[in-house]
Amino acid sequence: MELALAPETLARWQFGITTVYHFLFVPLTISLAALTAGLQTAWVRTNNEKYLRATKFWGKLFLINIAMGVVTGIVQEFQFGMNWSDYSRFVGDIFGAPLAFEALIAFFFESTFIGLWIFGWDKLPKKIHLACIWIVSIGTILSAYFILAANSWMQHPVGYRINKERGRAELTDFWHVLTQNTALAQFFHTITAAFLVGGAFMVGIAAFHLARKKHIPVMRTSLRLGLVTVVIAGLLTAISGDQLGKVMFKQQPMKMAAAEALWEGQNSAPFSIFAVGDVAKGHNTVEISIPGVLSFLADDSFTSYVPGINDINKAEQEKFGPGDYRPNIPVAFWSFRWMIGFGMASFALGILGLWLTRRKFMLPPGMRTGEDEVPHLVLFKNKALSPKLAKCYWIVALWTLLFPLIANSWGWIFTEMGRQPWVVYGVLQTRDAVSPGTSQGEVLTSMIGFTLLYAALAVIEVKLLVKYIKAGPPELTEADLNPPTKIGGDDHDDADRPMAFSY
Amino acid sequence: MELHDVWFVLIAVLWTGYFFLEGFDFGIGVLTKLLARDRKERRVLINTIGPVWDGNEVWLLTAGGATFAAFPEWYATLFSGFYLPLLIILVCLIVRGVAFEYRSKRPEEKWQTNWEHAIFWTSLIPALLWGVAFGNIVRGVKIDADMEYAGTFWDLLNPYAILGGLVTLTLFTFHGAVFAGLKTVGDIRERARKLALKLGPVTAVLALCFLIWTQIDNGDGWSLMALIITVVALVGAIGAIAAGREGWSFALSGVTIVAAVAMLFLTLFPNVMPSSLNDAWSLTVTNASSTPYTLKIMTWCAGIATPVVLLYQGWTYWVFRKRIGTQHIAEAH
């Protein structure tokens, strides 16, 4: 009981809960901002009303989601100081700068222009209003970049020196921190995975409506946009994940070994589908594996040597002194598999969906459908799926929207838990990073407080999402179709006209 | 002037920006109960800050992030030391943000009035607590030789700090009332003006007590000058609103906030968090700051980004320059 309530444990749980929760909203925000901007661009360019309806529909869901992303992000900015003050003192010289950059450059962009976008429908000319959502989208991506550069420094510290006198790490090369391969690989992987989330979200909701034959033109377009996004993002997520794995193998070999629960180093290291390890004895008791695959994931060759957990633990003991340098092996092992499994399952279902709903490619003319028809689901040349199977597909597509979110969460749990016991790999251990002055009661209060608040907000948020998803795309009004030509709104005769949007 | 002095000024600027901007939107939140008579009027008030409150709040995030980067020790001591008040502020800001965004998303009266209660309390509490926090920073708290806060939660609730909290609460509410007068039209505009006239003198008395107390404890010539500017601007703001000049009054209530924050930071310098236990244990711009290299990078970033931010945030206010009244609120929800 004493151990379970150690301030370090509590602080870690709080960080885990608040950060995983925050990151449910982040990838959806990043991808939906860009996808909504894309749909609005289509509206501005083609004047086709279905695009405007789609923009309003997805834009509304985007707003419900970003509100949660923004408010849960505030906690992140202050949590380091509250629960991790020794961490903050030790790394602030390096870690603080990307955070400040993020606020100054990205947050201001996002928050200011999101306000302009929400309230600007009747205040801004069409193209300027469109620019606002693009700026929001750029803001979300910049924000991701700075925060991932900061996180990458924890995975692989570069561009610093240790100042023994002041007992802290000091920045020597900021450019290196921003552009090291860890940061680039993490950014590539995180952004593509974010688009996998947004794509699957669109597919799932479009499938929900198409299965009921509702809002067909808008949902057809959305389904297609979603599926294409899933397939491209899925492919890029796999490629970037592979790259990130290779970077990780070089920089954090322990994490790679833990991901596989590979206890002893070996050539042609296998990748196991399933394993039950006996941590106390340092080996696996049950295992099903494919030889060579781990070697390939780590080093691009099926025969390379991959060091095992015990080897690396010994090496780190020699380097850093006595101690246990192993992360929680079952967590690392399973989170790695769930990340890949859920991510790639959504990718595969995306490919299947794109094939089933194809418009012309290898599709006989008789099977083609018009703008206002639900696409036939054609597996083989001439025959659409039976209604029963079609219904199954739509249901699977709907639930798939959760897969990439689950994969994202496990990915972060893997990358952070796999780095333990280090908070900054090879430089600072997590147990030395907590606030020495805060009491157990304080940390417990805040952990319980945030957990309860977040749980309540989750219920509210999901209910709202469901309400707006079910409502479908809104009908357009005269005002929607006649945006102002002047900034600040046209000088109408009727100055008392209600605002296009109000809280 | 060394870089850490520049950053002391920049941190002060960020907090000033935050209190100036979020000041009136906290004030608007408080006024939803003090000024608005019905749900429609509450919506008018909320919509005066609808497009901008989120951007205003980023000034706080930036102040936090910049303190982390430029003065890691200050960031660490302040946020781990003022743990519970900060936790309360964070919870308020979370609920407040969601309240603005979700209130209109369902038509049921109960749903909306619940969020309106939330907006009132989550505006009032941070408006009070920020003053308490800054009162404590200026007054000095128990900081030990390791730069750790050694006091308790109750130590933070001393008379000086609580007076500081009342000053920020009343000043922000006054600032909000003037803003409401500037941004609304019709009956509510007139009542906003009258309420500002009532709030003004209360604010002035509280602010005068707090600032004179500050001046006696820690002041010098410069802080005295800031004190005089604060008081003159506040009296001017009250006079302008009495004369029906809302624009002038808002500018002057803004100057009041700027000068008051300036005074607090002037009395603080060169400390950033004085220790009440031992002067040698105080956090200063020197012993709490980052390396000159980090500060140089940060200076470039802030030097370029801040003016751009001011430009586009200013533009936002211009886009939404029209006054709002009950007639502009759609019936739909």
| pLDDT tens profile B35-86 | 999 989 999 999 999 999 999 999 999 999 999 999 999 999 999 999 999 9
CB contact under 8 A, A92 and B320: no
- Cα angle at A184 between A182 and A190, to 5 degrees? 95
CB contact under 8 A, B68 and A123: no
Considering only residues A302 and B88, tell me which one the structure prediction assigns the higher pLDDT: B88
- Express as a percent the part of chain A with pLDDT over 70: 98
CA A193 to chain centre: 6
Nearest Cα residue in chain B from A98: B69
Residues of A in contact with B48 (CB under 8 A): none
**Smallest Cβ distance to A78: which of B54, B90, B297?**
B90
Q: Collapse the DSSP code of B219 into the 3-class scheme (helix H, G, I; strand E, B; otherwise coil) and give the result.
A: coil
Q: Could you tell me if residue B59 is inside a domain?
A: yes
Q: What is the pLDDT of residue A371?
A: 80
CB contact under 8 A, B65 and A77: yes
Residue B20 has pLDDT above 70, yes or no: yes
Q: What is the pLDDT of residue A385?
A: 83
CB B248 within 8 A of CB B14: no
Q: Could you tell me if residue A217 is inside a domain?
A: yes
Q: Which two tokens stand for residue A471?
A: 């409502």
pLDDT tens for A330-361 read 899 999 999 999 999 999 999 999 999 888 77
Q: Computed from CA positions of residues B168, B169, B171, B173, in that sequence, does the dihedral angle turn out positive or negative?
A: positive
CA-to-CA dists, residue B227 to A396, B60, B140, B264, angstroms: 67, 24, 20, 9
Q: List A424's β-bridge partners, or say none.
A: A428
Q: What is the pLDDT of residue A374?
A: 85
Residue type present at position B179: F
Q: Could you tell me if residue A77 is inside a domain?
A: no
User: A181-185, A208-212, A283-287: lowest mean pLDDT where?
Assistant: A283-287
Residue A302 has pLDDT above 70, yes or no: yes
- Residue burial A392-421, b: 16+ Cβ < 10 Å; e: rest: ebbeebbebbebbbbbbbbbbbbbbbbbbb
Question: Where are the alpha helices (H) located in chain B, listed in sequence order?
Answer: 3-34, 39-49, 53-70, 72-81, 83-102, 109-139, 159-183, 187-218, 221-242, 246-268, 292-319
Residue B260 has pLDDT above 80, yes or no: yes
CA B289 to chain centre: 24
- Range with top average pLDDT, A202-211, A299-308, A357-366: A202-211
CB contact under 8 A, B54 and A489: no
Residues of B in contact with A119 (CB under 8 A): 50-51, 320
- Structural domain including A254 reads 195-272+308-435
Residue A2 has pLDDT above 60, yes or no: no
Confidence band of A1 (pLDDT split at 50, 70, 90):
very low
- Residue burial B234-260, b: 16+ Cβ < 10 Å; e: rest: bebbbebbeeebbebbbbbbbbbbbbb
CB contact under 8 A, B62 and A108: yes
Q: Could you tell me if residue B158 is inside a domain?
A: yes
CB A333 within 8 A of CB A259: yes
User: A185-189, A206-210, A374-378: lowest mean pLDDT where?
Assistant: A374-378
CB contact under 8 A, B50 and A503: yes
Q: What is the pLDDT of residue A279?
A: 65
Q: Could you tell me if residue A124 is inside a domain?
A: no
Q: Could you tell me if residue B171 is inside a domain?
A: yes
Whether this prediction's pTM lies above 0.90 is answered by yes
Residues of B in contact with A168 (CB under 8 A): 72
CB B233 within 8 A of CB B251: no
Average pLDDT over residues A447-464: 95
CA distance B156 to B143: 13
pLDDT tens for A267-276 read 888 888 777 7
Into how many domains does chain B fold? 1
The whole-angstrom distance between A317's CA and the closest CA on chain B is 30
Residues of B in contact with A94 (CB under 8 A): 294
Nearest Cα residue in chain B from A440: B83
Q: Which residues contact B256 (CB under 8 A, 6 or more apart)?
A: B171, B175, B207, B230, B233, B234, B237
CB contact under 8 A, A64 and B54: no
Q: Could you tell me if residue A320 is inside a domain?
A: yes
User: Kind of pairing, strands A160-163 and A168-171?
Assistant: antiparallel
Give the mutation candidate from B40, B62, B299, B315 for the A interface (greatest A CB count, under 10 A).
Answer: B62
Nearest Cα residue in chain B from A99: B65
CB B107 within 8 A of CB B239: no
CB contact under 8 A, A502 and B101: no
Question: What stretch of H or E contains A138?
Answer: helix A126-155
Nearest Cα residue in chain A from B105: A464
Residues of A in contact with B55 (CB under 8 A): 108, 111-112, 115
Cis before residue B270, ω within 30 degrees of 0?
yes
CA-to-CA dists, residue A353 to A32, A75, A186, angstroms: 20, 39, 28
Q: Name the packing angle between helices B159-183 and B39-49 (round to 10°).
A: 100
**Smallest Cβ distance to A77: which of B64, B324, B328?**
B64
A-B contacts (CB, under 8 Å): 255
Residues of A in contact with B39 (CB under 8 A): none
Give the mutation candidate from B57, B91, B294 for the A interface (greatest A CB count, under 10 A).
Answer: B294
CA-to-CA dists, residue A49 to A40, A218, A471, A482, angstroms: 10, 9, 18, 12
Q: Could you tell me if residue A43 is inside a domain?
A: no
CB contact under 8 A, B293 and A172: yes
Q: Which two tokens stand for residue B156?
A: 């933070």
Q: Which residues contact A401 (CB under 8 A, 6 or more apart)?
A: A200, A201, A203, A204, A205
CB A118 within 8 A of CB A63: yes
Q: Could you tell me if residue B333 is inside a domain?
A: no
Residue B332 has pLDDT above 70, yes or no: no
Residues 449-478 of A with CB under 8 A from B: 449-450, 453, 457, 460, 464, 467-468
CA distance B199 to A308: 70
CB contact under 8 A, A100 and B294: no
CA distance A333 to A287: 12
The whole-angstrom distance between A125's CA and the closest CA on chain B is 11
Q: Which residues contact B79 (CB under 8 A, 6 or more apart)?
A: A78, A80, A81, A82, A85, A88, B86
The whole-angstrom distance between A137's CA and the closest CA on chain B is 15
Residues of A in contact with B102 (CB under 8 A): 64, 67, 460, 464
Confidence band of A4 (pLDDT split at 50, 70, 90):
low
* Phi, psi of A151, deg, nearest 5: -65, -40
- Cα angle at B85 between A17 and A143, to 5 degrees? 50
Q: Collapse the DSSP code of A52 into the 3-class scheme (helix H, G, I; strand E, B; otherwise coil) and give the result.
A: helix
The whole-angstrom distance between B46's CA and the closest CA on chain A is 7
CB contact under 8 A, B312 and A442: no
pLDDT tens for A402-416 read 999 999 999 999 999
CA distance A23 to A409: 7
Residues of A in contact with B331 (CB under 8 A): 498
- Structural domain including B147 reads 3-328
Nearest to A87 by CA among B79, B287, B190: B79
Residues of B in contact with A489 (CB under 8 A): 322
The whole-angstrom distance between A276's CA and the closest CA on chain B is 41
**Smallest Cβ distance to A104: which of B83, B84, B305?**
B305
CB contact under 8 A, B330 and A100: no
**Smallest Cβ distance to B87: which of A171, A449, A489?**
A449
Residues of A in contact with B275 (CB under 8 A): none
Into how many domains does chain A fold? 1
Q: Does A415 touch chain B (CB under 8 A)?
A: no
Cis before residue A498, ω within 30 degrees of 0?
no
Residues of B in contact with A74 (CB under 8 A): 57, 60-61, 90, 93-94, 97
Q: What is the pLDDT of residue A379?
A: 83
Confidence band of A362 (pLDDT split at 50, 70, 90):
confident
